[in-house]
Structure formats: structure tokens, C-alpha cells
């Protein structure tokens, strides 16, 4: 404890009704991203209260303060989608400011969704104070008739409505039933993927990624997280001692085995940057090639995160991976146990949800890294959500300079079987903010074209996206990469098994086009987005901000 600072602020403690006894204990931040806009965060006051109780029970004095949280679902399809990814840096920066300004001793991070969980882990690595993270847990799946559903399934009912296979009233019932409880959306989208990554990295206690939000076990785990934090403080165990190269390789292996969101690549690279660990796209590619996909969760399949919980959780997946020597078992976790000790006590209770490693859903991991003359620094596809017939595809480019233009064209039936939708200027700098293309991909699904049309972009995708959707193309169009000069009708060649993405143009033609190219103007940006666009780096490096 920084006792000299504590003595000087005694009047401030007394003004808040704090006692002298509380002043003598470690001062612990409870960083709570609860708000009333995000279903995944609406209940976090309960999780934070449980974490506070754990801190108090173990001898600490908690101080709660907020972090912002943006719901990607609210932000989809309009200018607001420019803000979620930039908010990752804003959250990490604000935690740094609060922790350093108030000289607090330790922190428990209460989080749940897409950018908030990685932002809090980034702050943990940056500050390197005793810390632990606890998520709010996944939403339960909904049910319509005899089908279990989540928000990603809504688009699948669009063609049924058009064909008369479901009534308007029935479609309205789907909307009403797709998100039945609080929590992060029920499939293995970005929020739940990152909560699972926190566990696989060792920054959270076992079960962090999978206990449903509405279960009492979620509050129990939060209490244990608060209690464990005080043990970490006493032993001076900090996040960077956990965030080793081996920990990241373990997390990537788990990510590939469960078929996590493509956004995990952005966030794990950004976290590695904060932790001082070298991590590049090639590492993801190498691990994906040797890691079988053991799970088939929504949006790729019909299982949900609650099913993974019942089947044995992330530690069950890790147990199966460890049996083939795919994990670093000596890696330590903030829970005080090695990965080997955790998997030794794990059980696998449902082999349909966690497949045997010798009988996987797919021989490779859920994500693939593609390279070629379109993406010299790489591109990312969630191959676990691509239908077999689209793993290799060749077709004419249908070129758009924004998601809105592409979405409108799809809605007007201007996109046809075999086309490759190309959406430029949606990267970290070009968006700015690397917007998700969920409305465009949902329009493709709703039009019944997800098994016939590919989409490539320098933007990114929601974890709920399915189909041949290839994003994170780097260098992005705004940086003057070859992607910027693809024109209407150019032939795009996609070969996911071969990990290639190319446009059929001679190098000389690409160079001629680039010589004529000028970047579009970005007029009217509000100050925060303008600063972000000026400082953000490539998606191939995690879209982190340049430092002076």
C-alpha cells in the first residue's frame, strides 16, 4: 500500500464516510462497466457487488468506479459503428487515468462485452498491478417452436418470411424470443469469445467464460475473484507474470478449438502489445493449422455457450487439447494453478459439444489467415462458419466504398450468385474505427445467398457473422494497399484451404492503378474519431494506437 499517499488523503476518506480501519487496508478498484444500454452489462451491478464482498471478506477496501460500454448491436448499421473499436483504447486509457491518479493498489475488472473485456485486460497488462477479471457471463439461448435461437439466427428467418414459410406474426415472435435474458449474446460471438480468452490466458478464474449470466454460480465466482485478488496482492503477483508467450499460444489454441470470433485476433494482438509479447498473424496461422476444431457453437452450429458450460467448459476443451500435447501445461494462471493442474481436474460431460480430438468437427482451427496480392499483410476469415461449397470461390468483384452502399445493392437484388462483394474504406483508419459489416452479411443471408456470394473487406465482422466473409484485409484501402484499386468486374479468387486471397491482375496493372490512386477525404469527423484515425495502426498489428 502507498501509505504516504493514504495519510495525505485522510480528510477525503472521512468526507466519504470511510473509517480509519478501512484506510489501513489495501485500496482496491472495482471497475464496473454496468449500464442500462447493453444486455450484457445491465446486471453487472450484481456481479460487482459480489466481487466487492469478496474483496472485503479477504481484507481489502473496495472503491467502485465505472467504465463505458458500447453495445455493438445498438451501433450496427449506422455511423455509431465507428466507435466500438476505438472505445477499446478509450476504456484502457481511462482505467490507467483512474488507477494512477488515485494511487490504488489493485483492481478487479467487472466486464462482459466485445471491446470492454479486451480493454480491461489491456489495462491490466499496462499497469501491471495485482488484478483479476470477472465477466458477467453469457445470455441463455431463446426458443422459437422447437428451435433454439439467438440474435444471429434472426437473419435466417428473413428468407422464410419472404417465401411464406413463416408469418409476419411468427417472425415477430422470433424477434421477441431471440434474447431472453441479460448477459452477452448466447452464441460464441466476440463477447463470449473474449471472456473465454480471459480464462484461457489465465487472467480469470476457471468457468469465467461459460457460466450463464443468470446463474447464482456467476455471483459466487465473482466473490471468489475478489477474494483471490487479495491473495494476489499479498503475493505481489501481477498480470505480466501470467501473460507469457506460452499463455498467448494456449489462448490461441483454445480459440481455434472452440471456433471463436475473428475479432479475437485483433484483441489478443493488442493485449500482447501491452504485455510486451511478440505476436503476429503468422502465429495464429501456424496454430490454426495444427489445432482441430472441437466445438460447433452458434453462429457456426446449433450449440450455445450454455451448452459448453454444461459439457465441461473451457477447461474441458483444454483437457482434450492437452491430451495431444497442444498446450503449455506449465503456464501459470492468476487462480494460482498451472494449466496442467486445471485440466487434470476437468471433466468432459457431452461429447457432442466437445468432440474428441481424434473426431473433431473440422481438422483445422476456426479461424484462417489468408495472404495474396489483395492482402499482402494478411486477412482473416472465420472458416468454421463457411459452408463447404464456399471454401473455394472465384467470382467478379462488386465494388462498394461503404457498408451502406453494399447493403442497399443487396437489398435491391443487384448482387447475384457467384459475386464477390468488395467493401473498401472500412478499415481502422478508413472507417474510421473498422466497422462491423453485419448488416451487409445479414442482408446476404436474408437474400438466401450466403452459400453463393462471398464478401471481402478491410473492415471487420461481428462474431455473429456466418458465410464466406473475409475481413481485416491489410494494408487497408485508406493506406493505399492493393485492395484500394480493385475495380468492378475484376476476378477475385478465394482459396481458404490454401490460405490465399488474390485478384487476377498482373503486378504491373496493380502498380499502374496505385500510381493514379488518391485517398478519399474524411471530412466532418468528430474530434475523437479524427484523433483515432491519425494514430491507429493496421489490423494486422491489432489496430493499436501509435505511441510518441
Which segments of 358-422 does DSSP mark as H helices, in order?
403-411
Ramachandran assignment for 216, one of left (phi > 0), alpha (psi -120 to 50 degrees), beta (any other): alpha
The side-by-side arrangement of strands in the sheet containing 27-32 is 61-66, 27-32, 106-111, 131-135
Distance (Å, rounded) from C-alpha 154 to C-alpha 239?
39
Residues 6 or more apart in contact with residue 533 via CB below 8 angstroms: 429, 432, 522, 525
The span from the CA of 160 to the CA of 147, in Å, is 14
Please list, residue by residue across 79-117, b when 16 or more beta carbons sit within 10 angstroms of its beta carbon and e when fewer do. eebbbbbbbbbbbbebbeebbeeeebbbbbbbbbbbbbb
Helix (H, G, I), strand (E, B) or coil at 489: coil
- The Cβ of residue 56 has, within 10 Å, a number of other Cβ atoms equal to 18
Distances (CA, A) of 214 to 149, 176, 187, 211: 17, 19, 16, 8
Check: CB of residue 69 under 8 Å from CB of residue 42.
no
DSSP 298: T
Is 439:416 a contact under the CB 8 Å cutoff? no
Q: Cell numbers at residue 486, please?
A: 480493385
Torsion of CA 201, 29, 215, 463, to 10 degrees: -50
Judged by phi (left if over 0) then psi (alpha if -120 to 50, else beta), residue 88 lies in alpha
C-alpha cell at 19: 473509517
Show which residues are catalytic.
Answer: 462
Beta bridge mates, 540: none
The CA angle 74-77-82, to the nearest 5 degrees, is 80
Amino acid at each position: 500500500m502507498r501509505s504516504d499517499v493514504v495519510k495525505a488523503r485522510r480528510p477525503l476518506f472521512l468526507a466519504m464516510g470511510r473509517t480509519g480501519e478501512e484506510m489501513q487496508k489495501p485500496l482496491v478498484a472495482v471497475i464496473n462497466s454496468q449500464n442500462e444500454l447493453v444486455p450484457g452489462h445491465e446486471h453487472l451491478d450484481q456481479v460487482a457487488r459480489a466481487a466487492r464482498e469478496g474483496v472485503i471478506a479477504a481484507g481489502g477496501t473496495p472503491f467502485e468506479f465505472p467504465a463505458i460500454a458500447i453495445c455493438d448491436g445498438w451501433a450496427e448499421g449506422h455511423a455509431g459503428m465507428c466507435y466500438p473499436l476505438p472505445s477499446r483504447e478509450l476504456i484502457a486509457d481511462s482505467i490507467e487515468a483512474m488507477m494512477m491518479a488515485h494511487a490504488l493498489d489493485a483492481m478487479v475488472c467487472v466486464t462482459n462485452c466485445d471491446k470492454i473485456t479486451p480493454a480491461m485486460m489491456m489495462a491490466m497488462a499496462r499497469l501491471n498491478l495485482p488484478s483479476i477479471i470477472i465477466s458477467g457471463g453469457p445470455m441463455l439461448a431463446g426458443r422459437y417452436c422447437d428451435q433454439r435461437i439467438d440474435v444471429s439466427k434472426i437473419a435466417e428467418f428473413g428468407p422464410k418470411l419472404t417465401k411464406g414459410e413463416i408469418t409476419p406474426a411468427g417472425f415477430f415472435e422470433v424477434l421477441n424470443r431471440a434474447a431472453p435474458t441479460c448477459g452477452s449474446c448466447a452464441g460464441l460471438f466476440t463477447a463470449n469469445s473474449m471472456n473465454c480468452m480471459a480464462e484461457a490466458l489465465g487472467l480469470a478464474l476457471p468457468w469465467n467464460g461459460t457460466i450463464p449470466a443468470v446463474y447464482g454460480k456467476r455471483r459466487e465466482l465473482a466473490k471468489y475473484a475478489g477474494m483471490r485478488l487479495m491473495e494476489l496482492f499479498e503475493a505481489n503477483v501481477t498480470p505480466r507474470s501470467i501473460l507469457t508467450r506460452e499463455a498467448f499460444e494456449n489462448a490461441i489454441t483454445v480459440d481455434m478449438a472452440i471456433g471463436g470470433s475473428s475479432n479475437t485476433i485483433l484483441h489478443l494482438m493488442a493485449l500482447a502489445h501491452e504485455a510486451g509479447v511478440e505476436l503476429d498473424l503468422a502465429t495464429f496461422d501456424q496454430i490454426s493449422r495444427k489445432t482441430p476444431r472441437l466445438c460447433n457453437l452458434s453462429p457456426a452450429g446449433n450449440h450455445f455457450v450454455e451448452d459448453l458450460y454444461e459439457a465441461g467448459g473451457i477447461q474441458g476443451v483444454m483437457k482434450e487439447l492437452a491430451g495431444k500435447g497442444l498446450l503449455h501445461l506449465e503456464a501459470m494462471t492468476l487462480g494460482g494453478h498451472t494449466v496442467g493442474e486445471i485440466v487434470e481436474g476437468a471433466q468432459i460431460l457431452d461429447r457432442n459439444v466437445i468432440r474428441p480430438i481424434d473426431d473433431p468437427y473440422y481438422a483445422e482451427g476456426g479461424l484462417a489467415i489468408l495472404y495474396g496480392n489483395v492482402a499482402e499483410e494478411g486477412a482473416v476469415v472465420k472458416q468454421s462458419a463457411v459452408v463447404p461449397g464456399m471454401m473455394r470461390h472465384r467470382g467478379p468483384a462488386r465494388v462498394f466504398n461503404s457498408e451502406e452502399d453494399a447493403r442497399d445493392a443487396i437489398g435491391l437484388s443487384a448482387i447475384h450468385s457467384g459475386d464477390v462483394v468488395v467493401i473498401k474504406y472500412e478499415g481502422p483508419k478508413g472507417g474510421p474505427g473498422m466497422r462491423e459489416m453485419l448488416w451487409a452479411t445479414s442482408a446476404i443471408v436474408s437474400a438466401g445467398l450466403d452459400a453463393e456470394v462471398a464478401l471481402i473487406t478491410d473492415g471487420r465482422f461481428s462474431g455473429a457473422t456466418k458465410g464466406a466473409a473475409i475481413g481485416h484485409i491489410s494494408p487497408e484501402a485508406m493506406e493505399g494497399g492493393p485492395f484500394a484499386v480493385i475495380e468492378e468486374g475484376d476476378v477475385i479468387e478465394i482459396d481458404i484451404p490454401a490460405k490465399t486471397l488474390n485478384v487476377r491482375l498482373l503486378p504491373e496493372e496493380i502498380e499502374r492503378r496505385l500510381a493514379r490512386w488518391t485517398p478519399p477525404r474524411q471530412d466532418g469527423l468528430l474530434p475523437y474519431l479524427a484523433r483515432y484515425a491519425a494514430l491507429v495502426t493496421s489490423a494486422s498489428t491489432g489496430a493499436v494506437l501509435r505511441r510518441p
